[in-house]
Amino acid sequence: MKNQKKAYLYAGLTILCWSTVATAFKFGLRYQSPLQMVSGASILAFGILALALIISGKWRQVFQASRKQYLTSAVLGFMNPFSYYLILFYAYSQLPAQVAQPVNMIWPVVMVLLSVPLLRQKLHFSGIAGTLISFTGVFLISSQGAGKGFHLQQIPGILLCLASSIIWSLYWIWNVRDSRDELIKLFMNFFFALIYIEIFAFIKSPILPSGRDAWFWAAWAGIFEMGIAFIFWLKALQFSERTDKISNLIYISPFISLLFIHYFIGEPVYITTLTGLFLIISGILVQNMVWKQKKTKQPTG
């Protein structure tokens, strides 16, 4: 099998994994609190990442990091997975899956906005246009078919989704500055996240899933959202001739996710959800295309 075909295979497996997680989140939160689901999922993901490090022969590199790198992992681990997923699960506990899942996808737009003050990048007209397009999509999705904007009872959940997007964006802005192997960085993040979960146990308990159903869905989130999906995506990037050949494929995932949400959870998928999701992705793609044009115009030396 040629490398590009392998890239498409791994990208397809990643999309399939990520398409199931919104449904898994909603089912899982029927049996446990957001904190319990974060703890159970993180334990499973930590085990998968440890196994991947051992198989790849990178285990020793975990202990060769500098003090500064350990500190970086401690900060990033607090952001993701601990804070990001805790806030995201609270959002899912308050919103329909078809609202929470696409609104959470706004993070690439948020990252562009945060890059202005943090990375001193200029926000051009195209960036503003992409932002407005995507946030119009958020507004439509939040209406849940009514066409009258935000439902009052949904505002806290929408704000939680947006907060998780801010955390995820900050995480990636900081993460790209760390030159370590991606698998090692993620493993260390989960290591510190488990420490934060234990600390949080003194404030709020219980922290572990209770019962077979709770553990099943926590395991699903840990394996298919946090664990092997990330490994599959790294493989897809590794085998692909060009990153852009597979990067935009990931936007297929939310549409497949809506099918799972409809047929397994039973939520009616509103036209405002489909339209809003299309607008969110369009806004992201507008920003991506402009970024690529700027990159190609830069002198190669």
- Residue 247's pLDDT is what? 75
Comparing C-alpha atoms, which of 272, 186, 168, 268 is closest to residue 229?
186
Q: How far is CA 2 from CA 5, 6, 9, 239, 245, in A?
A: 5, 6, 11, 9, 15
Arithmetic mean of pLDDT over the chain: 85
Comparing C-alpha atoms, which of 186, 18, 194 is closest to residue 101?
18
Mean pLDDT across 13-27 = 94
Give me 103's structure tokens.
Answer: 């609104």
- Residue 1's pLDDT is what? 57
- Residue 17's pLDDT is what? 93
DSSP 197-218: HHHHHTTS---S--SHHHHHHH
| pLDDT-derived band at 24, boundaries 50, 70, 90 | very high
- The better pLDDT of the pair 173, 248 is held by 173
- Residue 296's pLDDT is what? 40
Question: Are 226 and 45 a contacting pair, CB within 8 Å?
Answer: yes
Give me 53's structure tokens.
Answer: 């490090």
| pLDDT-derived band at 299, boundaries 50, 70, 90 | very low
The yes-or-no verdict on residue 192 having pLDDT over 70 is yes
Percentage of the chain modeled with pLDDT above 70: 90
Mean pLDDT across 171-199 = 89
- Where helices occur in the chain by DSSP H, the ranges are 3-28, 34-56, 67-77, 84-94, 97-104, 107-118, 125-142, 155-175, 182-201, 212-220, 228-239, 244-247, 253-260, 271-297
Comparing C-alpha atoms, which of 102, 103, 119, 100 is closest to residue 111?
119
Q: Half-sphere exposure (CA, 13 Å, Cβ side) for 84?
A: 24
- Residue 294's pLDDT is what? 47
- End-to-end alpha carbon distance in the chain: 36
Q: How far apart are CA 146 and CA 141, in angstroms?
A: 10
Comparing C-alpha atoms, which of 162, 144, 131 is closest to residue 283?
131
Q: How far apart are CA 262 and CA 26, in angstroms?
A: 12
pLDDT in tens, 131-171: 888 888 888 888 776 655 556 567 889 899 999 999 999 99
